[in-house]
């Protein structure tokens, strides 16, 4: 029987006790220049190079915390026939491939888990499929190594995402199945599709930051719309304790503004990394404070994101993505996830090595810059430093459109 693992996340920076990852596999190769845009990529990735960077990233986390992997968790729950049938039926209905039912149900759990992620190749057994230009009957989940988007742990509960693009719907369905049925996890989950959010609601985890026990920070972006945020408000309204949400509106373009964590992440209890033009300078995008108490909601407009957080009781020192001198450098490094850091403890970060000006900004503020390769060889110890940033090879991973925070789904962090 699997060991029970309690969930609890009340910050973005508390010492990490457990996280879900997904190693990018064949699914990131299963695309072509012709379908990359449909897969939400601007380019196709080199699996070998991306895999090298990802192994550095996951290896660092494995040294410091409990790591669960999506494919292993999925294979475990698929051993149960009722779960297998329920999940397969939901997927084939959602993706209109009912004829695959028997073929999928006959697969061993481990192979089925892999195919639900890597894709199911089309059998050319009738004229329509023979002449189809598609290679896959069930498309690969090219984006699944960005596990952040499918779900968010808030306190001891999980809010499942409602993906903005249909090509990612299956990710949320798989993660919901894992949290509902895996024996390691006993938690309440909130699913937009079964709790009345409506088909127009969208919500992705890259837009949700757990700032404090009673404070969420949510981006109103091209991936998380107001109806998706309304769903989160409704979740908070059902609780008997007060809660607050700071909402930051994001521009729809360029694509590097896909989620809030591409312009803002927490570094420790008192510092954050920001893309300054959208966070602290005057701009046309709304910053809103929402207070929920005893089922009642109060909404107010604030000057900017930093001012809204300050009003919510959180004063933070900002560090600047790309440094403080050159707007062009800020734009370049933000494009490649320069504001997107993942904290595995207060002041202990992981980020991409390519964003050299952002790393210089961190170093000037007291963060020792350590290479992941040196950490993995045990030549340096992150715990020997009060503050540090561990850099991984981001040359290929960044081209997928996300950073180190995007590749994590935290399960438990220790309170301060």
Per-residue pLDDT reduced to its tens digit, 365-388: 999 999 999 999 999 999 999 999
Of 87-91, 102-106, 235-239, 339-343, least confident by mean pLDDT is 235-239
Instruction: Give pLDDT tens digits for 227-237.
Output: 999 999 999 98
User: How many Cβ atoms sit within 10 Å of the Cβ of residue 240?
Assistant: 7
DSSP-assigned letter for residue 69: E
pLDDT at residue 69, rounded to an integer: 98
Tell me: pLDDT of 40 over 60: no
Q: How confident is residue 281, by pLDDT bands cut at 50, 70 and 90?
A: confident
pTM of the predicted structure, to 2 decimals: 0.94
The per-residue pLDDT for 36 is 55
DSSP state of 117: H
Domain 16-413 has CATH 3.75.10.10: yes
First to last CA, the chain: 32
Q: Are strands 348-352 and 388-392 parallel, antiparallel or unpaired?
A: parallel
Q: Quickly count: other Cβ atoms within 10 Å of residue 366's Cβ.
A: 12
Please state the φ and ψ torsions of residue 246, each to the nearest 5 degrees: -100, 125
* pLDDT of residue 294 exceeding 80: yes
Residue 175 pLDDT = 98
Mean pLDDT of the chain: 92
The residue that leads in pLDDT, 301 or 255, is 301
pLDDT for 9 equals 97
**Rounded mean pLDDT of 330-340?**
93
The residues near 325 (Cβ < 8 Å, ≥ 6 apart) are: none
Cis peptide before 226 (omega within 30 of 0): no
Give just the sign of the alpha carbon dihedral 275, 255, 149, 214: positive
pLDDT (mean) for 313-339: 93
What integer pLDDT is reported at residue 325 of this predicted model?
A: 86
- The reported pLDDT for the residue numbered 416 is 85
* Cα distances (angstroms) measured from residue 347 to each of 107, 273, 367, 382: 45, 12, 8, 10
- CA dist., res. 44 & res. 159, Å (int): 31
pLDDT, mean of residues 84-102: 96
pLDDT at 255 over 80: no
- The C-alpha atoms of residue 314 and residue 24 are separated, in whole angstroms, by 36
Sign of dihedral through CA atoms 381, 362, 20, 47?
negative
> Which pLDDT belongs to residue 68?
98
Distances (CA, A) of 155 to 209, 215, 341, 412: 12, 11, 21, 9
pLDDT for position 193: 80
What's the whole-number mean pLDDT along residues 113-132? 91
pLDDT at 247: 97
- Range from 39-48, 199-208, 341-350 carrying the lowest mean pLDDT: 39-48
**pLDDT of the residue at 140:** 92
197-209: pLDDT as tens digits: 677 899 999 999 9
pLDDT band of 106, cuts 50, 70, 90: very high
Long-range CB pairs of 197-201, under 8 A, 24+ apart, other chains included: 197/162, 197/227, 197/228, 197/230, 197/231, 197/234, 198/227, 200/225, 200/227, 201/162, 201/225, 201/227, 201/228, 201/230, 201/231
Average pLDDT over residues 352-362: 97
- With 70 as the cut, is the pLDDT of residue 37 above it? no
Confidence band for 299, pLDDT divided at 50, 70 and 90 = very high
CA 410 to chain centre: 9
Q: What is the mean pLDDT of residues 33-47?
A: 64
What's the pLDDT score for residue 295?
84
Q: What does the pLDDT average to over 261-284?
A: 91
């Amino acid at each position: 029987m699997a060991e029970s693992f309690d969930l609890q996340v009340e910050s973005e920076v508390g010492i990490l006790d457990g996280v879900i990852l997904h190693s990018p596999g064949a699914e990131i190769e299963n695309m072509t220049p012709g379908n990359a845009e449909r897969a939400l990529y601007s380019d196709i990735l080199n699996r070998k190079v991306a895999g090298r960077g990802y192994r550095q990233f996951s290896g660092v986390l494995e040294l410091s915390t409990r790591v669960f992997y999506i494919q292993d968790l999925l294979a475990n729950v698929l051993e149960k026939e009722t779960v297998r049938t329920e999940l397969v039926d939901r997927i084939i209905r959602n993706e209109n491939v009912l004829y695959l039912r028997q073929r999928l149900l006959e697969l061993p759990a481990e192979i089925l888990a892999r195919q639900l992620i890597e894709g199911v190749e089309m059998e050319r057994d009738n004229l329509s499929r023979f002449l189809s230009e598609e290679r896959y009957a069930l498309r690969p989940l090219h984006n699944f190594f960005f596990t952040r988007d499918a779900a968010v742990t808030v306190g001891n509960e999980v809010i499942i995402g409602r993906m903005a693009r249909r090509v990612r719907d299956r990710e949320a369905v798989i993660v919901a199945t894992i949290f509902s049925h895996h024996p390691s996890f006993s938690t309440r989950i909130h699913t937009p599709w079964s709790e009345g959010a409506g088909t127009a609601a969208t919500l992705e985890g890259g837009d949700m930051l757990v700032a404090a026990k009673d404070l969420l920070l949510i981006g109103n972006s091209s991936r998380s719309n107001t109806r998706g945020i309304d769903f989160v408000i409704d979740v908070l309204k059902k609780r008997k304790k007060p809660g607050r949400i700071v909402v930051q509106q994001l521009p729809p373009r360029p694509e590097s503004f896909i989620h809030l964590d591409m312009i803002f992440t927490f570094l420790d209890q008192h510092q954050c990394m920001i893309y300054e033009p959208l966070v602290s300078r005057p701009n046309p995008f709304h910053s809103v404070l929402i207070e929920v108490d005893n089922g009642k909601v109060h909404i107010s407009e604030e000057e900017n994101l930093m001012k809204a957080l300050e009003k919510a009781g959180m004063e933070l020192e900002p560090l600047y993505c790309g440094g403080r001198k050159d707007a062009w450098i800020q734009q370049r490094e933000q494009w490649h996830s320069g504001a997107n850091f993942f904290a595995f403890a207060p002041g202990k970060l992981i980020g991409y090595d390519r964003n050299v000006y952002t790393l210089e900004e961190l170093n000037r503020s007291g963060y020792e810059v350590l290479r992941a390769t040196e950490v993995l060889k045990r030549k340096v110890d992150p715990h020997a430093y009060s503050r540090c940033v561990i850099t991984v090879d981001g040359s290929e991973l960044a081209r997928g459109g996300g950073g180190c925070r995007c590749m994590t789904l935290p399960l438990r962090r220790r309170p301060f």
